[in-house]
Amino acid sequence: MPKGTFGVTTPIYYINAAPHLGTAYTTVAADTIARYERMNGYDVSFVTGTDEHGQKIAETAEKNGMTPQAWCDSLAPAFTDAWKTLDIDYTNFVRTTEDRQTRAVQKFWQGLYDAGWLYKSAYEGWYCVHEETYYAESDLEKNEDGEFVCPDCKRPVRYESSGEENWFFKLSEFQDKLLAFYDEHPDFIRPVSRRNEIVSFVKGGLQDLSISRSSFDWGIPVPWDEGHVFYVWADALIAYLTGIGYGDPEREAEFDRRWPIQYHFVGKDITRFHCVIWPAMLMAAGMPITHTVFGHGFLLTKGEKMSKSKGNGLMPADLVRVFGVDAYRYYFMSDVQFGHDGSISMERMVQVYNADLANTWGNLVSRVTNMTTKYFEGRVPETPAGSEDNPLREIADTLYAEYDACMAEVDFTGAAAAVQKLASRVNLYVEESAPWTLAKDPARADELAAVIYNCLEAIRIIALYMAPFMPNTSAEVFRRLGLGEIADTTDIQEATAWGQLPASVAVEVGDPLFPRLDVDNLPEL
């Protein structure tokens, strides 16, 4: 019986270019927590997808000489392929041009319209197409030519005053309700730095939000007013609901079971949409609100936000070719503290790879399986009495509490470090107990058996804790230890209790899991 449901989402990514390291970062993080909570026995939903409407996509398609739909269809596989390459095990992929999204968006906003939360009014104002965001003049910056530019992407903004009447959502009425909500739910916005930004933004007052446009047609039609389409954010946020069944009569029970979810993982640039507009929309609809919006930092290369348009956008597949998918995932999760900006570089990636994976985890598996072959004909030795008390077990016994507390804080770096601590301790234990010396003395056969057993058992436990980060390697380690499918684990706490490795099972040595890399001699990117 599952413990209950657990839900996480990534942003619904604009389909104007293939995924880069930044978008992959959020997606790997969501996958890591999703895998962990599955191993904890939760019935997990993990929604991701592509944001396919709006001016930006329409203009990108036009530049490429395609219809918006043809453009989206041509690019959607770049997302599903990238997520396959990175071993992303999502449960629902929503394209916002799917019929189910149209149904969900229309149902949601029709409800708000019927309840009196919308009104029609002339719209005029500054808009950044790249960010698909409205700005007050006071928020804008000026470039060298004296033009107003977007404070986020620094591109010129447009003044839109077609005299068109748009539909507005009465966001301004939610200021007090939102502030009270933030107060009552201190975990809603994390990390704390993001929370402070949002609280002071809302305290400054909220403007009503234009949620429809009639000057272009690449969007979901507003059902009660022909000629209007929904603003791209009024559409995309609903995908979080669509993914788990909202708007589908056949999935109503599933939706009720799954909503609200635990996490929206987003980049810090889009926390306002998720922490202000989104909860206000849900309040207006009388629906419960997601437990936590986690706004992570940016990946920086040479001090700049990494992005394709700046030309510093390495693609995930480039790095996977050099490091392998597991090392890729491990590097971003362990070395870039979730919630902070983090500088990434090839040099650092090689350094982490060699230290944590080649020299520690991979080396440990090789040397212990090799010794098992050498001293015990490749079979797990029986554990002699008295071998339960050992320094590895001491660490293993408290590891679940430590690791789980990190995961609850979405501190992937801390969780990875806790497992590494055990791996390093096993390497040290091998040095201290010197099995090669014990093996020379038949009187110490029991001691030798205990040392090898303890090492193999620690390896089994480490593989379990590494699995959310590096699913392939952990599955391979389980295979080498003659154990079943690691992916079937539904109670990681119980599975990591000491002493479950069965004796006399055949152990396989295999190739090095992480062959050492030389930073001066890397394959071409």
- Contact between 267 and ligand MSP by CB under 6 A: the answer reads yes
CA 230 to CA 96: how far, in whole Å? 12
- Contact between 333 and ligand MSP by CB under 6 A: the answer reads no
- Contact between 266 and ligand MSP by CB under 6 A: the answer reads yes
SS (H, E, C) 224-243: CCCCCEECHHHHHCCHHHHC
Least separation, in Å, of the C-beta of 19 and ligand MSP?
8
- Contact between 270 and ligand MSP by CB under 6 A: the answer reads yes
Near ligand MSP in 464-523, by CB under 6 A = none
- Residue nearer to ligand MSP on the CB measure, 242 or 387: 242
- Residue nearer to ligand MSP on the CB measure, 188 or 298: 298
- Residue nearer to ligand MSP on the CB measure, 97 or 363: 97
Considering only the stretches 76-84, 195-203, 247-255, 262-270, report the one whose residues sit in contact with ligand MSP under the rule CB under 6 A.
262-270
Q: Total residues at the site for ligand MSP (CB under 6 A)?
A: 20
Q: How many helices (H) and strands (E) does the chain have?
A: 21, 19
Locus of tokens 């059902």: 223
- Contact between 22 and ligand MSP by CB under 6 A: the answer reads yes
CB 300 within 8 A of CB 348: no
CB 140 within 8 A of CB 150: yes
In order, the DSSP letters of 394-448 are: HHHHHHHHHHHHHHHTT-HHHHHHHHHHHHHHHHHHHHHH-HHHHTT-GGGHHHH
Q: Is 150 annotated as a binding residue?
A: yes
Locus of tokens 């090689």: 350
Of 5, 6, 23, 277, the one binding ligand MSP by CB under 6 A: 23
Instruction: Give the residue at shortest CB distance from ligand MSP.
Output: 267
Please name every residue paired with 304 in a beta bridge, in sequence order, or none if there are none: 301
Of 298, 331, 465, 514, the one binding ligand MSP by CB under 6 A: 298
Please state, as a whole number, how many other Cβ atoms lie within 10 Å of the Cβ of residue 47.
Answer: 24
Considering only the stretches 36-44, 147-155, 266-274, 366-374, report the one whose residues sit in contact with ligand MSP under the rule CB under 6 A.
266-274
Least separation, in Å, of the C-beta of 141 and ligand MSP?
19
- Contact between 243 and ligand MSP by CB under 6 A: the answer reads no
- Contact between 93 and ligand MSP by CB under 6 A: the answer reads no
Q: Which two tokens stand for residue 516?
A: 């050492």
Least separation, in Å, of the C-beta of 107 and ligand MSP?
17
| Alpha-carbon distances of 456 from 269, 375, 388, 420, rounded to whole Å | 45, 13, 13, 16
- Contact between 13 and ligand MSP by CB under 6 A: the answer reads yes
CA 114 to CA 443: how far, in whole Å? 84
- Residue nearer to ligand MSP on the CB measure, 305 or 379: 305
Considering only the stretches 149-157, 220-228, 242-250, 263-271, report the one whose residues sit in contact with ligand MSP under the rule CB under 6 A.
263-271
Sequence-ordered list of residues with C-beta below 8 angstroms from that of 311, at least 6 positions apart, any chain: none
- Contact between 380 and ligand MSP by CB under 6 A: the answer reads no
CA 341 to CA 186: how far, in whole Å? 22
Considering only the stretches 85-93, 303-311, 401-409, 513-521, report the one whose residues sit in contact with ligand MSP under the rule CB under 6 A.
303-311
CA 137 to CA 215: how far, in whole Å? 21
Bond before 260 cis per omega within 30 degrees: yes
Q: Residue 301 burial (CB < 10 Å; 0-12/13-18/19+)?
A: middle
Name the CA dihedral angle for 226, 231, 233, 235, rounded to a multiple of 10 degrees: 10
Q: Which two tokens stand for residue 266?
A: 């987003």
Least separation, in Å, of the C-beta of 168 and ligand MSP?
20
* Alpha carbon 489 to chain centroid, angstroms: 21
CA 220 to CA 170: how far, in whole Å? 20
Of 289, 299, 415, 486, the one binding ligand MSP by CB under 6 A: 299
- Residue nearer to ligand MSP on the CB measure, 130 or 228: 130
Strands 165-169 and 118-122, by their bridges, are antiparallel
Considering only the stretches 23-31, 206-214, 255-263, 452-460, report the one whose residues sit in contact with ligand MSP under the rule CB under 6 A.
23-31
Least separation, in Å, of the C-beta of 513 and ligand MSP?
28
- Contact between 39 and ligand MSP by CB under 6 A: the answer reads no
Of 31, 37, 51, 52, the one binding ligand MSP by CB under 6 A: 51
Q: Which two tokens stand for residue 87?
A: 């071993």
* Alpha carbon 235 to chain centroid, angstroms: 22
Of 118, 306, 325, 426, the one binding ligand MSP by CB under 6 A: 306
- Contact between 220 and ligand MSP by CB under 6 A: the answer reads no
Least separation, in Å, of the C-beta of 123 and ligand MSP?
21
Q: Which two tokens stand for residue 385?
A: 């009495």
Least separation, in Å, of the C-beta of 11 and ligand MSP?
4
Residues contributing to the annotated binding site: 128, 150
Which residues of this protein are in contact with ligand MSP, per CB under 6 A?
11-14, 22-23, 25-26, 51, 236-237, 266-267, 269-270, 298-299, 305-307
Residues contributing to the annotated binding site for Zn(2+): 128, 150
